[in-house]
């Protein structure tokens, strides 16, 4: 029996309509902010991939040949290209494409997945982070999400904290556990961390578990690391919308060097967008520079939107009362299409009832009925499939109604 490979999916037309809407919206907003499109290969050399991966991600690389593997994210290609190509600074690029990781699939997470990255190379200040968050917020608003939870932190706060507590030799394990708070809960994280750093768990969490508003959290951050706290303060100040400082936010990847952020929409699914500053990553590929970026998880966005979106692809079906009216139906369909309205006509010479059945099966909201009477009056009979009401109108009037 032929089956879909584990962690991979087929996207049927009803899925693709929503996915393309999401991707199109993101692309439009990215371009509006001046980000330029770029595409890199699905495969990279293992040396290129491993330079960024780290121990945990390295195990998840799909190895294709002895020296080649599938990309596990879209930043690897960007870093390689920037290291070998000269661009005016800041260089603002976006890429919306697939990546692959050999890990166990779970809700909202697959082995093959789509990301929508936007990165800024060559800007030291926090204006870059504020612009990325502003852009991400606009994307979500256009997709219908009015109150995203935007969390921000600075990795330098945590780096300095573990150093002050003399536990920085266990830093990787500590950060990896902090990154699991949303998945397994704070109590379980504390329990597991106690095995790593003992009683220092209480000191660690008392420093990052600051209750109250951003002002208190920023004061706490500046006490730990003044520079990092000021960077956070700048981001909060530059964003003319709500962001929440979360001093326990760490982000899993080890290459982050400064501000990090996550955007959440639902408790049942983790972050739908995340990113941060990675100033040292580009030097791994031969050319150091300031860099920061954000990435949307297309699959998670689509999963959340599926609950409320059943939008059909075609908006109008032109139904012929008789088969010999087909040519006239095509001309009418063309008028709808020229106005940007997706429109279908009957290709199978079916009777009127079967044409209605077909339109119903595809959830097409309007049927334009064309018969001899309508043609004589140079009109169509527009049927609203939701209400069942019909109205004799011109195509121009129908376009406005649709």
Q: Is the pLDDT of residue 368 over 90?
A: yes
Residue at which a domain ends, from 305, 330, 356: 305
What angle, rounded to 10 degrees, do the helices at 13-32 and 298-305 form? 120
For residue range 215-247, what is the model confidence (pLDDT) as tens digits? 999 999 999 999 999 999 999 999 999 999 999
For residue range 167-181, what is the model confidence (pLDDT) as tens digits? 989 998 999 899 988
Q: Is residue 310 part of a domain?
A: no
Q: Is the pLDDT of residue 107 over 70?
A: no
Q: Is the pLDDT of residue 309 over 60?
A: no
* Contacts of 318 by beta carbon, 8 Å cutoff, 6+ apart: 329, 330, 332, 333, 336, 343, 344, 345, 346, 367, 368, 370, 380
Q: Is the pLDDT of residue 185 over 70?
A: yes
| Gap between the Cα atoms of 125 and 227, Å rounded | 12
In order of 314, 315, 341, 379, 396, the CA distances from 364 in angstroms are 6, 5, 12, 20, 19
Q: Is the pLDDT of residue 286 over 90?
A: no
Instruction: State the pLDDT at residue 369.
Output: 96
Asked if 320 contacts 355 with a C-beta cutoff of 8 angstroms, the reply is yes
Average pLDDT for 307-315? 68
Q: Is the pLDDT of residue 164 over 90?
A: yes
Q: For tokens 């109008």, what's the residue? A: 316
Same domain, 237 and 325: no
Average pLDDT for 18-42? 97
Q: Is residue 3 part of a domain?
A: no
To the nearest whole percent, how much of the chain has pLDDT over 90?
78
CATH number for the domain spanning 269: value is 3.30.930.10
Same domain, 75 and 181: yes
Same domain, 263 and 174: yes
Same domain, 387 and 242: no
Same domain, 124 and 223: yes
Predicted confidence band of residue 105 (pLDDT cuts 50, 70, 90): confident
What is the residue range of 395's domain?
A: 316-401
Same domain, 298 and 339: no
Residue at which a domain ends, from 305, 326, 345: 305
Same domain, 200 and 332: no
Average pLDDT for 322-333? 95
Same domain, 159 and 244: yes
The tally of CA atoms less than 13 A away on the side-chain side of residue 149 is 9
Same domain, 200 and 60: yes
Q: Is residue 131 part of a domain?
A: yes
Q: In sequence order, what are the beta bridge partners of 260?
A: 153, 276
Q: Is residue 4 part of a domain?
A: no
Same domain, 383 and 295: no
CATH number for the domain spanning 377: value is 3.40.50.800
For residue range 50-63, what is the model confidence (pLDDT) as tens digits? 887 666 678 899 99
Instruction: State the pLDDT at residue 108.
Output: 60
More confident residue, 228 or 105: 228
User: Around Cβ 328, how many Cβ atoms within 10 Å?
Assistant: 16
Question: Using CB atoms within 10 A of its CB, is residue 268 exposed (0-12), middle (13-18) or buried (19+)?
Answer: exposed
Q: Is residue 114 part of a domain?
A: yes
**How many domains are contained in the chain?**
2
Q: Is residue 47 part of a domain?
A: yes
Predicted confidence band of residue 308 (pLDDT cuts 50, 70, 90): low
Same domain, 354 and 292: no
Average pLDDT for 166-195? 91
| Gap between the Cα atoms of 42 and 167, Å rounded | 39
Average pLDDT for 181-196? 92
Predicted confidence band of residue 284 (pLDDT cuts 50, 70, 90): confident
Average pLDDT for 110-122? 96
Q: Is residue 214 part of a domain?
A: yes
Q: Is the pLDDT of residue 122 over 70?
A: yes
Q: For tokens 């909060």, what's the residue? A: 236
Predicted confidence band of residue 110 (pLDDT cuts 50, 70, 90): confident
| Gap between the Cα atoms of 112 and 385, Å rounded | 38
Instruction: State the pLDDT at residue 51.
Output: 83
The bridge status of strand 291-297 relative to strand 91-100 is unpaired
Same domain, 352 and 237: no
Q: Is residue 245 part of a domain?
A: yes
**188: three-class secondary structure by DSSP:** helix
Average pLDDT for 333-337? 95
Residue at which a domain ends, from 256, 276, 305: 305
| Gap between the Cα atoms of 293 and 258, Å rounded | 12
């Amino acid at each position: 029996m032929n089956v879909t490979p584990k962690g991979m999916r087929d996207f049927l037309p009803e899925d693709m309509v929503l996915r393309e809407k999401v991707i199109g919206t993101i692309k439009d907003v990215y371009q509006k902010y001046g980000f330029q499109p770029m595409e890199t290969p699905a495969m990279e050399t293992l040396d290129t991939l491993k330079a960024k991966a780290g121990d945990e991600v390295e195990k998840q690389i799909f190895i294709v040949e002895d020296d080649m593997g599938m990309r596990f994210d879209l930043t690897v290609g960007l870093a390689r290209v920037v290291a070998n190509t000269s661009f005016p600074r800041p260089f603002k690029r976006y890429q919306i494409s697939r990546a692959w990781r050999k890990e166990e699939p779970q809700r909202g997470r697959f082995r093959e997945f789509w990301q929508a990255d936007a990165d800024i190379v060559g800007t030291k200040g926090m204006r870059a982070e504020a612009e990325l968050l502003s852009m991400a917020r606009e994307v979500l608003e256009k997709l219908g999400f009015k109150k995203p939870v935007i969390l921000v932190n600075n990795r330098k706060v945590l780096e300095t904290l573990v150093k002050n507590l003399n536990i920085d030799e266990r830093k990787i394990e500590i950060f990896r556990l902090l990154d699991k708070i949303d998945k397994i809960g704070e109590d379980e994280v504390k329990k597991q961390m106690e095995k790593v750093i003992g009683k220092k768990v209480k000191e660690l969490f008392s420093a990052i578990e600051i209750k109250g508003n951003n002002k208190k959290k920023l004061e706490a951050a500046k006490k730990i690391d003044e520079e990092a706290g000021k960077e956070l303060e700048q981001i909060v100040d530059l964003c003319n919308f709500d962001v929440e400082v979360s001093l326990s936010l760490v982000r899993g990847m080890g290459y982050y060097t400064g501000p990090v952020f996550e955007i959440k929409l639902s408790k049942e699914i983790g972050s739908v967008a995340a990113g941060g500053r990675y100033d040292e990553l580009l030097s791994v590929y031969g050319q150091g520079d300031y860099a920061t970026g954000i990435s949307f998880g297309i699959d998670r966005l689509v999963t959340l939107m599926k609950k409320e979106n059943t939008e059909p692809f075609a908006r109008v079906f032109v139904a012929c009362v008789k088969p010999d009216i087909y040519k006239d139906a095509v001309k009418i369909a063309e008028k709808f299409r020229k106005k940007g309205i997706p429109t279908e006509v009957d290709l199978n010479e079916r009777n009127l009832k079967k044409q209605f059945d077909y339109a119903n099966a595809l959830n097409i909201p309007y049927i334009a009925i064309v018969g001899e009477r309508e043609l004589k009056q140079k009109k169509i009979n527009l049927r609203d499939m939701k209400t069942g009401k019909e109205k004799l109108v011109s195509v121009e009037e129908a376009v406005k109604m649709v």
